[in-house]
Amino acid sequence: MTLITGKHLPRRTFLRGVGVTVALPFLDAFVPAGLNRGRAAAARSAADPTRLVCIENVHGAAGSTAYGASRHFWSPAAVGRDFDLTPSALSPLEPFRDALTIVSDTDVAPAEAVTPPEIGGDHFRSSATFLTQSHPKQTESSDVRAGISLDQLYAQRFGQDTPIPSMQLCIENVDQAGGCAYGYSCVYTDTISWASPTEPLPMIRDPRLAFDLLFGAGGTAEQRTTRRRERRSVLDFITAEVATLKRDLDPADRRRMDRYLEDVREIERRIQRVEERNTSGEALLLPGAPAGVPDSFDEHVKLMFDLQALAFEADMTRVFSFKLSRDATGRVYPESGVDRGFHPSSHHGEQEARIEEFARINRYHVSLVPYLLERLRNIEEGNATLLDKAVVVYGSPMGNPNVHNHKRCPLFVAGGANGKLPGNLHRRAKPGTPMANVMLDLLHRLGVDDLECFGDSTGTFSLSA
């Protein structure tokens, strides 16, 4: 690390050790000496591009059925700003309603079958449509084709000056070779991110791999293995650099550094505990998973959310896509209070009791999102929080999973997008409105304002009243 004279640090300052590279959080010391640090930090903060997280969950929602819609199992009854979240799966988001924008009843027509051989293959092409809003080519070979995804359009424009332009994370297993079913390559269910119509991007399931990319990149595989075997922290290799840096920081920046480094260390400890448990010889619920993957869905998701928040804080990347589940998964979520698997629950046969059961799973999945929103709200940059400067998109390309349709698909957006999203708003689309219209409006608000169309868009659907 270059020694600091006490006044100013470049934003791209890193603390480096053997096989370790740790970026810094936003500090007042990044503001040139002689400027009013409060105003300058606020201006620098406000000028940062928006952070983007795109979360896909499969199998649609109970509220997309006729019965579920009548009971408001997904979206609230009232539109506008005076809506009640209580009966809906979105009720866990109540503490964040000022940052919440709900869009109801949009369709994802590109996920529908176009030719007779495609009929029945909805589960195996849906994920490829979520962020591309494009119809995937039916193939089991390598000649896959979909479209450029929303996250990658944004990363290509605003992510190129960060160490990692974008990261793709997932919870379920991926990289299944060959075809999955109905003539579709498994890549269509393996990822939601496409750098080009023919370039799907791999997703990371293992929190250890994601951690090493963000905080332990560099060095050799042997060095990383030795560090883990000796239970040494990445921070052990930058102790001297941290001490040198802190001598030249003011008290506020020292406190910010201490909290940030402790957060890095705590995530590392949690991953180490998972690895120890998974290699202890005890019976595992996910025996084929990498050692860093927890058996607990809840624990796994929260680890991934913590990594996203810290990566944003250090400006290592501004773009994440996050796939919560894999189509046709039979995983059970005990915390939801439902002991039936996700896929079997989604095929509820239009039975009211079964739809209510599926709604509880929907609510459980949504209940994990406030963990990320709270983490972002607690991180300050200048005169704003990361929640003010972020957009979190959550949705599904499927509507009623019992009939495999793609109408009235669930979708909400959280975060302020650097003042571009007003929040506390529920908008209901007219029947037949493409979800792509919402995504095109969002891309314009994110700064990709020269894009005239996206997927099957027919215009824009405003995320403002």
User: pLDDT for 368-391, tens place per residue?
Assistant: 999 999 999 999 988 899 999 999
Q: What percent of the chain has pLDDT over 70?
A: 89
Q: How far apart are the first and last CA of the chain?
A: 49
Asked if residue 1 belongs to a domain, the reply is no
Give me the residues paired with residue 411 across strands: 395
Q: Which residues of 312-347 are buried (b: 16+ CB within 10 A; e: fewer)?
A: bbbbbbbbbbbbbbbbbbeebbeebebebebbebbe
pLDDT at residue 12 greater than cutoff 80: no
The structural domain count of the chain equals 2
What's the confidence (pLDDT) of residue 21? 82
Q: Which range of residues forms the domain containing residue 253?
A: 6-47+209-292
Q: Do residue 281 and residue 263 come from a single domain?
A: yes
Residue 313 pLDDT greater than 50, yes or no: yes
pLDDT at 45 over 80: no
Say yes or no to pLDDT of 8 above 80: no
Contact (CB, 8 A) for 413 and 74: no
The tokens describing 69, both together, are: 């819609």
Q: Quick check: 227 pLDDT over 80?
A: no
* Residue 91 zone, left/alpha/beta (φ > 0; ψ -120 to 50; rest): alpha
DSSP code of residue 202? P
Both structure tokens of 249: 């920081």
Output the pLDDT for position 47: 61
pLDDT one-digit tens code per residue, 113-144: 999 999 999 999 999 999 999 999 999 999 99
Residues 445, 385 share a domain? yes
Q: What are 387-404's pLDDT values in tens digits?
A: 999 999 999 999 999 999
CB burial of residue 276 (10 Å; 0-12, 13-18, 19+): exposed
pLDDT in tens, 326-382: 998 999 999 999 999 999 999 999 999 999 999 999 999 999 999 999 999 999 988
> What pLDDT score does 61 carry?
97
Q: How confident is the model at residue 459 (pLDDT cuts 50, 70, 90)?
A: very high
What SS3 string covers 398-458? CCCCCCCCCCCECEEEECCHHHCCCCCEEEECCCCCEHHHHHHHHHHHCCCCCCCCCCCCC
For residue 225, name the pLDDT band (cuts at 50, 70, 90).
Answer: low
Last residue in a domain, options 292, 327, 352: 292
Give the helix/strand (H/E) hosting 377: helix 369-377
CATH code, domain carrying 335 = 3.40.720
- Nearest CA-CA partner of 355 in 364, 363, 347: 347
In this structure, the strands spanning 384-385 and 20-23 are: unpaired
Q: Which of 246, 268, 292 is the last residue of a domain?
A: 292
Query: Whose CA is closest to 353, among 57, 58, 90, 71?
Result: 71
**Does residue 10 sit in the same domain as residue 158?**
no
